[in-house]
């Protein structure tokens, strides 16, 4: 593993007219690490990837990828990185094998190397049998896997994956996670992965950075981030919906109320699960019957909620509304 396989960024900014899509991001990704960049649509994830992969010059700040400055040494950066962007941009008229030939050829591989490595990669991502079919006949999952194989044709030391599993079924997603995990932990490839899926960041990333409105609001291992939140949440559903307010009043004695939407009440327990018995006794003494009572360990969504004041899901919906009304320019400007 090469010590210069990391990523460093300082004060990275990208401004699109009035909109600051990326607003002063500092990053440090270690060689061989899987770094999950988590945030809703429009948070600035793709813009950051476009800058780090040299497709978009930053407005301010600096960054180096694989030991090369992204502004002054763009060609050297491109030599050491593999990239699968948000949309698997493929030529529907070419076959999988022909994509390998084109990509390998443009990277300067010999015909023998292209054939050997191309075939091996196509097999590895499960496209061996479909290699000679035109891409227009591929499913979404097959296109994503081909995209990954293409990103690897020139044996890059760093891999950028921009929402690689968006739109994939559970099985395809799991297969891609396995492959990415193997690349990092077996082959020592540094992986910078953007995602809006909490479970993806949780399952795959060694460290997670949470981006919100162009700023990095939290960073650490998934476990450390959850530990920062520390306290579990308790959610209860009243047996009689008319009791919802009383239920909330009782629960609020044991922690900070949390927003919920389905007629239930939730709190972040002040003293952890040790209070659970007290909560049940409190409800019993008030005569409130509950239909359901659940304790949740902290998740990355809780981290997101704590750091940004809204859940990831809520932030996604907010972005969708903004996108619909055209009030907020997004990273898609760069697409």
Partner 1 sequence: MASATTPALRTQARYLAWRSVVRTMRQPIVIVPPLVFPLFLLAINASGLSAATNIPGFPDTSYLAFALAFPFIQGAIFATNTAGANVAEDIGNGFFNRLALTPMSGPSLLAGQLTGVLLIGTLQAVAFLAAGLAAGATIEAGVLGALVLFALSLAIAAAFGAIGLFAGLRTGSSEAVQGLFPLMFILLFLSSATLPRDLISSDWFRTVATINPVSYLIEGLRSLIIIGWDPEALALGFGVAAAIFVIALWAATLALRERLVRT
The minimum distance between CB 297 and partner 1, in angstroms, equals 39
Toward partner 1, which CB reaches closer, 108 or 287?
108
* Enclosing H/E stretch for 198: helix 198-204
- CB 90 → partner 1: shortest distance, Å? 7
Q: Which is nearer to partner 1, 81 or 234 (CB)?
A: 81
Go through 90-104 and write b for each residue having 16 or more CB atoms within 10 A of its CB, e for each that does not.
Answer: beeeebbbbbbbebb
Quick one: which of 194, 230, 264, 254 has its CA closest to 41?
Answer: 194
Asked whether the beta carbons of 258 and 268 are under 8 A apart, the reply is yes
Nearer to partner 1, 182 or 230 (CB): 182
Q: Which is nearer to partner 1, 252 or 332 (CB)?
A: 332
- Rounded least distance, CB 19 to partner 1, Å: 18
Q: Please spell the DSSP secondary structure of 252-295, one letter per residue.
A: GGGEEEE--SSS-EEEEETTGGGGHHHHHHHHHHHT--EEEEEE
Tell me whether residue 93 or residue 277 sits nearer to partner 1 (CB atom): 93
Q: How far apart are CB 113 and partner 1 at their closest, in Å?
A: 5
Name the maximum alpha-carbon separation found in the chain. 78
Residue 95 CB, nearest approach to partner 1 (Å) = 9
Q: Tell me the CB-side half-sphere exposure of residue 199, using CA atoms within 13 A.
A: 6
Residues that bind partner 1 (CB under 8 A): 53-57, 70-72, 74-75, 77-79, 81, 83, 85, 87, 89-91, 93-94, 98, 101-109, 113, 117, 134, 150, 153-155, 335
Of the pair 57, 309, the CB lying nearest partner 1 is at 57
CB 235 within 8 A of CB 297: no
Closest distance to partner 1 from the beta carbon of 223 (Å) = 34
Contact 64, 8 (CB under 8 A): yes
């Amino acid at each position: 593993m090469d010590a210069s396989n990391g990523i460093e960024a300082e004060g990275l900014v990208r401004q699109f007219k009035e909109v600051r899509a990326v607003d002063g991001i500092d990053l440090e990704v270690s060689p061989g690490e899987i770094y999950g960049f988590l945030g809703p649509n429009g948070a600035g994830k793709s813009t950051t990837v476009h800058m780090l992969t040299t497709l978009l010059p930053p407005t301010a700040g600096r960054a180096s990828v694989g030991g090369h400055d992204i502004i002054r040494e763009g060609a050297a950066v491109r030599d050491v990185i593999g990239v699968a962007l948000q949309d698997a941009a493929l030529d529907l008229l070419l076959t999988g094998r022909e994509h390998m030939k084109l990509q390998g050829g443009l990277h300067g591989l010999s015909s023998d190397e292209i054939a050997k490595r191309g075939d091996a990669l196509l097999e590895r991502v499960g496209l061996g049998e479909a290699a000679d079919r035109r891409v227009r006949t591929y499913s979404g999952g097959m296109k994503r896997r081909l995209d990954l194989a293409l990103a690897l044709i020139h044996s890059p030391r760093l891999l950028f994956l921009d929402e690689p599993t968006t739109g994939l079924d559970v099985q395809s997603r799991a297969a891609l996670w396995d492959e990415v995990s193997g690349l990092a932990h077996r082959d020592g490839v540094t992986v910078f992965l953007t995602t809006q899926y909490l479970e993806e960041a949780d399952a795959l990333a060694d460290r997670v950075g949470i981006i919100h409105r162009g700023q990095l609001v939290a960073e650490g291992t998934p476990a450390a981030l959850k530990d920062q939140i520390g306290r579990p949440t308790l959610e209860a559903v009243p047996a009689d919906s008319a009791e919802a307010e009383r239920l909330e009043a009782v629960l609020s004695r044991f922690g900070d109320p949390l927003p919920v939407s389905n007629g239930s009440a939730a709190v972040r327990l002040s003293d952890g699960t040790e209070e659970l018995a007290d909560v049940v006794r409190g409800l019993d003494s008030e005569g409130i019957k509950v239909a359901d009572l659940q304790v949740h360990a902290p998740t990355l969504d809780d981290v997101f909620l704590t750091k940004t004041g809204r859940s990831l899901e809520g932030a996604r919906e907010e972005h969708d509304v903004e996108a619909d009304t055209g009030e907020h320019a997004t990273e898609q400007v760069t697409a």
